[in-house]
Every structure is written in C-alpha cells, then in structure tokens.
Chain A
Amino acid sequence: MEEIKNIIESLLLVAGEPLTIDHINNILTQAEKKEIQNALSELSKEYEARKGGFFLREVAGGYQIRTRPEYREWIKRLIQPKALRLSKAALETLAIIAYKQPIIRSDIEHVRGVNCGGILRMLLERRLIRILGKKEIPGRPLIYATTKQFLEVFDLKDLKDLPTPEEIITLGEASSEQIE
C-alpha cells in the first residue's frame, strides 16, 4: 500500500496533465483501481494534514498536484503564465455554453441578447470551448461545448461539478455585490 502510494505520488509529480485512475492503472497494472483510489485519497489527506504549499485536486476527471491559492502572489513573482483574464462578456458566454451544452450560436446569443461571434472565436482559440459538429437544421449551425481544458482551468471535476447558479436573485444582494 505504502509503495503504491509512493509510485502514484511520483507519477503525479511528473505528469503534465491531470492523471485519471485508468491512466494510473495502465502504468501500475498490479494495483486494483480501488487501491489506486484509496491511495489517492490517502495522499490528499496527507497533503491536507501537512498544509504545505500544494494539494491534490480532482480536476477534469483526473488528479493533479496544484499549488495552494494562498501562495499565488509568490508564484507570480516567479512565472507569468499567459493571462487568462476573460472579460465579463466572455465569462457569461462561457457560462451559457457550460450550462446549456451542446448549444448552437443563436441560442447563446438569445440569452445575452448580443452577437457573440468574436467571443466564440476567442474562446475556441484558448481551447476553452470546441465545436461538436453541425446541427441538422436549416443553415446547419455549429454546435458548441466546453473542453477538458475548461474543466482544468476552472478547477472542476466534471460538468456536474459546475456551481449551481442562484435561482432567484434578490436585488438588494445583487446590488451590494456590485458595489463591492
């Protein structure tokens, strides 16, 4: 068990992208998936107990070692990754696609009431969304959906992990948020 845990930890350290249990299982054939799952939660508990600079996150269907958000300012003195910085409009468009996928452009535009061609192109370039195909209706519009990259960037396990939007917005709260 200890050994399996250490092997998995070493894999997690080197892997560039989130490692799925299946992927680990392909490498570590002698261990059962259940054991791998247990080892992963053990590791996660250890990191939580240690409260060090990193933790284990379950993202995009896999597991990945990530730095704790409280140290972000220090990391940013070391590296400057390409800024994610999405505008409010881009975030809203992305949210529409995330919650309503698969979705065609006219349905996206219907929600915001604005043309979103430029934003879609930008989201495609950043690989946050992808084209699933064409819908079999007149005009054969493109169908959009989010990518694995989207889950990775937004720290989501899967699409079910998307935050639940507020059902009813009381205006008092909404406006105080605005001021903040």
Chain B
Amino acid sequence: MTPDECYQVQLENIFEGPMDLLVHLIKKHEVDIYDIPIALITEQYLKYLEWMKAMNIDVAGEFLVLASTLTQIKSRMLLPAHEDEDEDEDPRLEIIRPLEEYLRIKSAAEKLAKRDLLGEDTFVRNPGQEDYLLNREEAVIDVGLFELIDAFQKILEHISPIGRMEINADTITVRDRIVQIVDIFETKESVTFNELFSKNADKSEVVVTFLAILEMVRLSLIRVAQHTQTGIIRLFYL
C-alpha cells in the first residue's frame, strides 16, 4: 500500500461530506456557529480541499458547492452594509441554517446509537439457529467458493480410475440430490463435505452433488464452514 492510499482511507472516514468538514473546522477553531468568522473558515476550508487534492483524493463535487457558497458569503460580508435597509439579513444565515440542521441530525444520530439496540445490547427469545456460536474448540471459519472448489478437486482425484463413464438412464438431477441431502440433514444437524460423496461415485454423481451443495448455499439452506485446525469442511443446515 502506498502512503497515498493510507491517507485516502483515513480522510474519507473523517470527512464523509462537506458539512462534516465544516463542522470539523468550527470545532477545531472553537468558534460560535452563530458568529462564524467566515473569512477564516472559508480560507481553512479551501486549504483542506487543496490538501485533499494534493493527496490524490477525488474531491467530490459536493465539496466544491459548499466552497462556492462560503466564498460567496465571504464576499457579501465585505460589501458595505446599507444602514437604511434593515431587512438585510446576515449573509451567514445561508450557511448557519443548514449547519444547525446538520448538527441537530448528528446529535440525534448519536442519541439513537446510544439506545439499547436490539441484537447489540438487548435480545429477544428465539434467536435463529444460525446465530448460535459454535464451541470455541470447534472454531470454524466460513468457507468461500475457492475452498469449496479445492475440496471438490480432491474428491475428483479420488474417483475410481476405472472411469466407468457409461451413460445411466437414471442419472440423478441436482434437484433430486438437494432433496436427498435435505433428508440427511433431517437426521443430523451437520455433515462433512466428504460424507456426501460416496466412495464409488462416478463423475457425474460427484458433479451433481457439488452443484447441489452450491445451489443450497445460494438458497441459504446450508452454511459451509471449515475447521481451523483439521481443515475439515462441514455443512450446517439452517
């Protein structure tokens, strides 16, 4: 990873948007949001955008929109106020109002996150079976497609070399095989990957079984996990 990429990740996390950057600057300089020193904040804001560009971060269009708003407010502040027009409102209101609203939402979001969240702080009965943690000694990791394919390759290597490739009329379909596997799961909660392949299976049967397993994973009927030490792949019925 190049240093640039490091920065990129960090910065993206800090400023998720232009409002975030603005809030950061206001906090950093400890200024009152109702009396923003617009020249200072605008200058700082633009400086951050420069830094982000220098670090090869794509400065999203939204950042530029706020930059132009800030610059515009700054220039309006420089214009002499007409004393006779007292309906002239503070140009900064244009930024104060959305800022206020954003801060309100931020505070609301923080409060929501602090509540007793279901599934995090508080729980109800009847957790789904898949939620149960397995015993620690049986630490398993979820298996990806590539591990499955490796396991499948090993099964293929063990097919009897006689290679009876005769075409059987009663070749089993993937759908039938799924039904059979579900039947196996009716009697036990998990089976190992190898158990599903009989020793004298021919190639087509092995392929059908493998496809059935993949299909069952896709339909989230089963979960596939591998024991961290033994490397044995187990299928769990959900």
Contact = CB atoms under 8 A, between A and B. Distances in A.
Given A64-B124, A165-B105, A113 B30 contact: no
Nearest to B19: A113
B108 to A, nearest CB: 4
Contacts of A91: 109-110, 112-113
A69 B126 contact: no
Best-surrounded residue of B125, B127, B128 (most CB of chain A within 10 A): B125
Contacts of A84: 117-120
Interface stretch (A21-29, A43-51, A72-80, A133-141): A72-80
A5 interface: no
Contacts of A99: 105, 108
Interface residues of B, number: 45
Contact of B131 (A81, A89, A92, A171): A81
B108 A171 contact: no
Nearest to B32: A171
Interface stretch (B1-9, B96-104, B152-160, B180-188): B96-104
Given A79-B131, A81-B119, A153-B117, A95 B124 contact: no
A66 interface: yes
A113 B65 CA distance: 9
B146 interface: no
Contact of A94 (B19, B112, B117): B112
A166 B119 CA distance: 27
B179 interface: no
Contact of A174 (B19, B27, B65, B131): B27
A111 B131 contact: no
B133 A77 contact: yes
Interface string B120-147: 1111111110011100000000000000
Q: Which 6 A-B pairs have the closest CB atoms?
A: A114-B17, A165-B108, A163-B111, A95-B109, A79-B131, A69-B121
5 contacts: A69-B122, A95-B112, A112-B19, A114-B17, A166-B107
Given A72-B122, A83-B120, A152-B118, 12 more contacts: A65-B124, A78-B132, A79-B127, A81-B119, A88-B16, A89-B16, A95-B109, A112-B102, A113-B62, A113-B65, A115-B62, A153-B119
Interface of B: 16-19, 26-27, 30-33, 60, 62, 65-66, 98, 101-113, 115-128, 131-133
